[in-house]
Amino acid sequence: MHAPDGALRFPGRIGLGTWEMGVDAGQRKQEIAAVKHALDVGYRLLDTAEMYADGGAERIIGSALQAFGAERRAELCIVSKVLPGNASRNGTTRACEASIERMGCDYLDLYLLHWPGRHPLAETLRGFHDLMQRGLIRHFGVSNFDVDNLQRWLQAQERLGLPAAAQCNQLYYCISARGIEFQLLPWQRAHAISTMAYSPLGRGSLTRHPLLQRLGRERGVSAAQIALAWCLREPEVTAIPKSVDPVRIEDNLRAAELRLTGAELERIDQAFPPPHSKRPLEMV
């Protein structure tokens, strides 16, 4: 959401991811109902991308937003992403316009370059600037960028002299994928770039992990809530788990209220040791 000082403020630290929504037409009603339910129970951050089912996920969100009400648009933070192959200056503009049309949301709160590609970063930045000037996006950022790519991005920003800067890097981050903690997270923290963690449940595998299930039983919560609370132990991290199950959607949202103890974090570190050297950036 847009803050008076121009900084990005997320409306809550748990959002709804939509990767793989819109793929199966037979699941369309269930997926629309899932997004509607998420909005009804308090989700205000929705993440999607033009790549997801070739715009199908954005159409799912668009249908849910119709029921939510256009007059409540300002309550939401809607995030989408441009494919690298579309990320020329004009291509970025066209892709954003198409995403907005599919969702019927008038503007995007945050627009990301999905991963580094063949177009010069300066071209993408010019496209983002054009979109901001037109009021079609409020903030911009990147996804799946390592430190080297982020440095090139910031250099391009400086050369262009743009009044706005990248405010978020969306990354694969979960208990079983901690590589970004060695170098990338500290670097982003130093440059005021927030982290949005996608697949924070390890694509579902962490919900079945024996240690997380044991910790959950001890606290009277689910393994998923333990995994999400672990992500949120870092104050600049927001998590976007994806689910179409109403019970799990509610369960995930409540993880924002859970604080893990030092003893619990130590047990998790023993099972999932933090990195001690730079690792290649992981993507799923």
Residues identified as active-site: 52
Segment holding 133, helix H or strand E: helix 121-133
Residue with tokens 């909005």: 39
Q: Which residues contact residue 202 at a Cβ distance below 8 angstroms, ignoring those fewer than 6 apart? A: 174, 175, 176, 177, 227
β-bridge mates for residue 78, sequence order: 46
Q: Are 37 and 249 in contact (CB under 8 A)?
A: yes
Q: In what order do the strands lie in the sheet with 237-240?
A: 16-17, 45-47, 77-82, 108-113, 137-143, 168-172, 194-198, 237-240
Q: Are 111 and 80 in contact (CB under 8 A)?
A: yes
Degrees, nearest 5: CA angle 85-139-243? 75
Q: Which of 175, 189, 187, 166 is nearest to 237 (CA)?
A: 189
Q: Which distant-in-sequence residues (6+ apart) come within 8 Å of 19 by Cβ?
A: 49, 52, 57, 198, 199, 242
